[in-house]
Amino acid sequence: MATALRIDNLHKSFKTGFLLQKKTILKGISLHVDQGEIFGYLGPNGAGKTTTIKCVMGLIFPEDGDIKLFDLPHLSLKAKERVGFLPENPYFYDYLTASEFLRFYSQLFVIPELEKEKRIEDILQLVDMKKARNLQLRKFSRGMLQRIGLAQALLNNPDIVILDEPLGGLDPLGRKEIRDILVRLREEGKTVFLSSHILQDIEMICDRVAIIVNGEIVNQGYLQELISERILFTEIIISGLGKSDLEELGESLSTPGGKILLKIHDEKKINSVFRLIQDRGGKIHSLTPRTETLEDLFVGMVKKK
Amino acid sequence: MKIKAIALNTFREAIRDRVLYLLLFFALASLLFSRLLALLTVGDRVKIVTDVGLAAISLFGALMAILMGTGLVFKEIDKKTIYTLLSKPIHRHQFLLGKYFGLVLTLFVMLFLMTVIFFVIYFLHALKIEWSMLIALFYIFLELCLITAVALFFSCFSTPILSSIFSLAFYLIGHLSWGLETLFKKMSPGIGKVTARILYTFLPDLENFNFKTEIVHHLPIPPQILFFSTIYGISYTVFVLFLAVLVFRKRDFI
Ligand SMILES: Nc1ncnc2c1ncn2[C@@H]1O[C@H](COP(=O)(O)OP(=O)(O)O)[C@@H](O)[C@H]1O
Ligand SMILES: [Mg+2]
């Protein structure tokens, strides 16, 4: 599959403080995004996600490393024609109305004059902002700004959309709406690259992810492959037995209603639990094997650092 | 085309700035004041109206150029609107030139408004219009174009307050540096003369754009002086814009 975005060995540091000490933010980031996938760039706050994205968009210049968009140098206009970008916490010219704003930005692309208005209409429709078209952006709520931000990113019908924390600061409904739009973009064959520090968002829609911690990629790949199918432990909810009977088998916890939640780490012990319950006339209410989640992986990675 | 879109948006933003109208108000107040001053003095009243009027237009125009020029790029960076703008298929110099031409357009409109009022006041006084004043106004406009470029240059790497101070210093030095010319012409050859000469070559000489005296006193202006001032203004402006682009091209937007 063709590569939409390739980042090779990216290094970036900032000079901070009074003495202009060098602080290294990105320590050799490499990743590649295939065409047509939703790629999640995952990491805790301050890991360097925004810094990476700013390098890709040419807002800051890395000290070292190479960035290619569709095998073109990322700063070439040819590459930029094919990219849409939504920054973190977007803010736009607050004195413009939504449609004035989109009209202004549409002039920065090579779009035939006749097509412009139709394009703007379609996009306002897509992000469900038709009613707000004549409202000044200063009167927009957080969610509305996010959607008009998405609209400006899609104006040029880009092949790749790069979004920095697109779901940040939105309520659950707003998040779902944006997620739906992103999935629709993938269906149209576009590539989506989004960063997030919220796992659920990524887990729900991403094909592949890269995890960045402290300026380094600690893991990268298909979600299913990163998260092993290995069963971590099994949770069994039981009644009719005393807590003391279960001591040797695993951790037990009393739950409301006289039930006991038993957490078994050793698979072999599950059968002994069944036998014990049969012997004592107890009852099994539920049995849940817990496999690894992205969250476990994530927390593990962050801890290791 | 892209530069035009950015310029028009800059214009749209600039004409909403309250500071602009405050300065415009002061400029108009000074114009009215010149009339009052003329009524109270003996002597050539028309000359006073012309003199004070042109000076007010030049000064307030320069203040507008400095405040707008240092504010607008900074605002774009500060509010992060530049993030999405620069991610579009435009070069950074196109952004900067768009800002520049938008500012120049704004100043042109402001200068036009001040000129209209000035001509009305002048007409009330002299009962005629002195069209030769348009020459002086044209060179004031050229000066404003240069000052805008300078303000834009400073705002490419420093805060609005610092840039305003630097630009104001440029304006003041520019209007005083002709003293250096007089100085080195009078000095005897030597190190001092060379220094004064070098300083004068690099420091701006904004008096090149000042034709107030000639207009007020109806003195003839040799065409080669007009030609020189035009070339001087355009090349200095292009040079400063070029420097601004050099700085802006390599800047990190963080
Ligand atoms: N302009 C800057 N100067 C110094 N340090 C910065 C600057 N911008 C970001 N950082 C630091 O870089 C690190 C990464 O920031 P960022 O890329 O914004 O993280 P993320 O987007 O993953 O939350 C943070 O530790 C932050 O403090
Ligand atoms: Mg961030």
- Compute the distance between CA of residue A301 and CA of residue B211 in angstroms, rounded to an integer: 72
Ligand 1 nearest-atom number relative to CA A16: 4
Query: If you measure from the C-alpha of residue A208 to the centroid of ligand 2, how many angstroms do you get, rounded to a whole number?
Result: 19
- Nearest residue in B to A151, CA atom: B84
Nearest residue in chain B measured CA to CA from A76: B89
Question: Which atom of ligand 1 lies at the shortest distance from residue A49's CA?
Answer: 22
Chain B residue numbers touching A78 (CB-CB < 8 A)? 89
CB A14 near ligand 1, within 6 Å: yes
CATH code at A231-292: 3.30.70
Q: Does the CB atom of residue A43 touch ligand 1 within 6 A?
A: yes
ipTM of this complex: 0.84
Give per-residue pLDDT as tens, B206-224: 888 888 888 878 788 888 9
Which of the residues B80, B85, B88 would you substitute to probe the A interface, choosing the one with the greatest number of A C-beta atoms within 10 Å? B88
Residue B44 has pLDDT above 80, yes or no: no
Check CB contact under 8 Å for B252 and A60: yes
**Nearest residue on chain B to A58, judged by CA atoms?**
B87
Instruction: Spell out which residues of chain B touch residue A87, defining contact as CB-CB under 8 Å.
Output: 80, 83-84
Mean pLDDT of B120-132: 85
Partner-chain contact A92 B81, CB within 8 Å: yes
Q: Where are the alpha helices (DSSP H) in chain A?
A: 49-56, 77-80, 98-106, 113-126, 142-154, 172-187, 199-205, 223-226, 269-280, 294-304
Q: Is the pLDDT of residue A253 over 70?
A: yes
pLDDT of B189 over the 90 cut: no
CATH says A3-226 is which class?
alpha beta
The pLDDT value given to residue B148: 96
Whole-number pLDDT of residue B94: 95
Contact B87 A57 (CB under 8 A): yes
C-alpha A255 – ligand 2 centre gap (Å): 40
Least confident of A12-16, A54-58, B94-98: A12-16
Report pTM: 0.86
Of A153 and B17, the structure prediction assigns the larger pLDDT to: A153
Does residue A99 line the site of ligand 1, with CB under 6 A?
Answer: no
* In the predicted structure, residue A1 carries a pLDDT above the cut 70: no
Q: Domain coordinates of chain A in residue numbers?
A: 3-226, 231-292
CB of A45 within 6 A of ligand 1: the answer is yes
Q: Which of B9, B13, B84 sits opposite A85 (nearest CB)?
A: B84
Contact between B65 and B148 (Cβ < 8 Å): yes
Banded pLDDT at A228 (limits 50, 70, 90)? low
Q: What is the pLDDT of residue B109?
A: 95
| pLDDT tens profile A22-38 | 899 999 999 999 999 99
Q: Tell me: pLDDT of A219 over 70.
A: yes
Q: Is A49 in the pocket of ligand 1 (CB under 6 A)?
A: yes
Residue B253 reports pLDDT greater than 90: no
Q: Which of the pair, B65 or A267, is modelled with greater confidence?
A: B65
Mean pLDDT value across chain A: 88
Residues contacting A42, CB < 8 A, separation 6+: A195, A196, A197, A199, A202, A209, A210, A211, A212, A294, A298
User: Is B13 in Cβ contact with A60 (below 8 Å)?
Assistant: no
Kindly tell me if the per-residue pLDDT of B67 is higher than 80: yes
The Cα diameter of chain A in Å comes to 81
What is the per-residue pLDDT for A230? 67
Q: Is the pLDDT of residue B42 over 80?
A: no
pLDDT of residue B239: 95
Give the pLDDT score at A229.
64
Cβ-defined contact of B5 to A104 (cutoff 8 Å) = yes
pLDDT of residue A255: 75
Q: Report pLDDT digits (tens) over B104-124.
A: 999 999 999 999 999 988 888
Query: Pairing relation of β-strands A21-34 and A191-196?
Result: unpaired
Contact A213, A43 (CB under 8 A): yes
Ligand 1 and A16: CB distance under 6 A: yes
Task: Inform me whether the pLDDT recorded for A268 exceeds 70.
Answer: yes
